[in-house]
Structure 1
């Protein structure tokens, strides 16, 4: 069953889901949290610089696709991955595929994945007076991308369905125009490490240390669903997932060190929930 027909629809779903998650994580009106977020960025130049740097790194990820096209073709490492893993993803799909499950997982992969990142920034800005969680989140996401991009440029690995004809790309059942509308955000050979794994697990690890139990539970469940989805949809190899897990642990550990080094003397004005 198709649930996505355009990127405008994806954008609307993302905005609404982010608002719901911010309300869930703060226990307050998401508009109030949004106001606190904007106010703190406007009055704290160092926070604005950090947030702008995060946006810059996300833009750099899109530029990577352009740079990749201009580069000399790199060796394809997919056969090595396949020779090591064999039919793991094919067997996974045969075991779990169900028509009713596909749209649910597609919604998490496309919408909830990015909404959790947006909501995490809003929740931590609203609830954490020290600003440590907000800073750690920004740093962790930037580290994830800065480490992953060189792999995408110089160690290309194709998505499983694009290499193994026995694996199906079930995303097309929920988003028929995925290849023409969404593919520009994610290269076909940008597999190792899996950023969907690393970012979702990063958000879960950060949430686990935030002191916000309800948000920690949701972020953890979201990460588990995302990891399940990358195999179910025939997108990532097991090796990609393991690389993503390692990248997440490394990013969070380094992010907290950087957040502590760059601690701001004055706490953020915020609202306690």
Structure 2
């Protein structure tokens, strides 16, 4: 896990530079400044961190209190059949597997962190707030499905005939990564929803360079969930819908928060001048 964290950090630094052509460490200073000077952002950032922690402990809560629920995996298989298996058989290649595993494991996380950093560097506070709200909404809406609508990853459902190619690149995936994500926390695909969210926000930001980076990354990450044998098509469709919803609400709430924060600051300045 330390190796993943190290390379994720490197990816974040590279993405921040590529997305802004600025010193990537400016993002850290900007983040600290916002947390100290803008109470609304501190509350929002804390809430976002809280939902991520909640997601971490959701698996334990599910195992203790929701292990009696029906498994909906057979129903999904009846709908989809062997679509993902055919995708794997058509595209599988020894050179492609490590590239897509890299995007699934490392670029995905770096894309989320990097998005906040890019907007901090560019002083685009509306998008900073929008990104935090959108992450919150993604997890808040996905967790109930994880608890109440359990669907196993496609590779683990033997009738689907799908191979888990992640193990070719990361043999210890199940022991290292699995504690962070339950085997039946499949619907909707958060890899899809968050990638789509970051891409939509980037396109709305006006930063063409960042929009291209997030757009290409999102496409590769979505493809990787099928190629590596992790998600069903239904997971992806639900993830796209969630990503569109979360980004739309995130932008609305981000603008609202920025307007209120600006208005509050202006009142304080006016009061001092008077």
Matched residue, 2:271: none
Match of 2:235 in 1: 240
Q: Say whether residues 1:140 and 2:134 are aligned partners.
A: yes
Structure 2, unmatched stretches of 5+, are 266-274
- Whether 2:49 is the aligned partner of 1:55: answer yes
State the 1:266 CA deviation.
Answer: 5.9
Match of residue 271 from structure 1: none
Q: Based on CA coordinates, which of the two structures has the bigger radius of gyration?
A: 2
* Equivalence for 2:167: 172
Q: How does 1:53-92 map to 2 (within 5 A)?
A: 53-72=47-66, 73-92=68-87
User: What residue ranges of structure 1 are gaps of 5+ in the alignment?
Assistant: 1-6, 269-273
User: CA 1:267–1:209 in structure 2 vs 1: closer, same or farther (change >3 Å)?
Assistant: farther
TM-score (normalizing by structure 2) = 0.92
Runs of 4+ in 1 over 6 A off after TM superposition: none
Q: How many residues align?
A: 261
Cα distance in 2 between the residues matched to 1:218 and 1:121: 14
Deviation at 1:38, TM superposition (A): 1.8
TM-score, with length taken from structure 1: 0.93
Contact 2:12 2:113 in 1 (8 A): yes
Shift, 1:90, TM fit: 0.6
Q: Please list the CA deviations of residues 108-160 of structure 1 after superposition, one character each: whole Å capped at 9, or x if unmatched.
A: 1010000011010011112134x110011000011000000000000000000
- Select 1:190's aligned residue among 177, 182, 185: 185
| Counterparts of 1:19 and 1:139, CA distance in 2 | 23
Distance in structure 1 (CA, Å) of the matches to 2:136 and 2:158: 32
Deviation digits for residues 157-183 of structure 1, max 9, x if unmatched? 000000035211000011100000100
